Amino acid sequence: AMPTTSQRLVKRGFDPVSILSAQLSKHWQIPLWQGVKRIDDTVSQQGLTRAERLSNLDNAFALIERPPTKRLLLFDDVSTTGASLQALAQAFIPPAAIKSATDSSHNSYQISAYVLAHGSKP
């Protein structure tokens, strides 16, 4: 599930993505792994251009534990430009793998991303 910020969790009082992910995990009978945290030093993505969104989310996610599998399904409730999912996927790519994309010796993941709805920019 796309990790949320502490500030957004307090404002909403619940985390819709975690709730939806838990239900999908049960329905699909696949484990729900939550080993990624969101770094709270980003601003709201609302109203930002794609370039601003990508820049805003640099290093916005950190692994707190290694995934138990190499096949990952990322899930978010709304995607406008895909910047959040792209930034989340980057948390699984070691910096050395980015520098040497042709080197297959690193531990690679098969990553799929899904969203519930597509948002639109104003």
Q: Which pLDDT band, with edges at 50, 70 and 90, does 72 fall under? A: very high
Counting the structural domains of the chain, the total is 1
Q: Which pLDDT band, with edges at 50, 70 and 90, does 96 fall under? A: low
Distance of CA 114 to the CA centre of its chain: 10
Structure tokens at 75: 């899930």
Question: Residue 91 domain-assigned?
Answer: yes
Q: Which pLDDT band, with edges at 50, 70 and 90, does 107 fall under? A: low
Give the pLDDT of residue 105. 47
Question: Residue 1 domain-assigned?
Answer: no
CA dist., res. 108 & res. 112, Å (int): 13
Structure tokens at 114: 């899904």
Is a pLDDT exceeding 90 seen at residue 101? Answer: no
What's the domain range around 58? 6-98+105-118
Q: Mean of the pLDDT values across residues 68-74?
A: 91
Structure tokens at 13: 């009082």
Question: Residue 34 domain-assigned?
Answer: yes
Q: Mean of the pLDDT values across residues 89-108?
A: 63
In the chain, where do the E strands start and end? 36-38, 61-63, 71-79, 110-118
Give the pLDDT of residue 27. 96
CA dist., res. 120 & res. 122, Å (int): 6
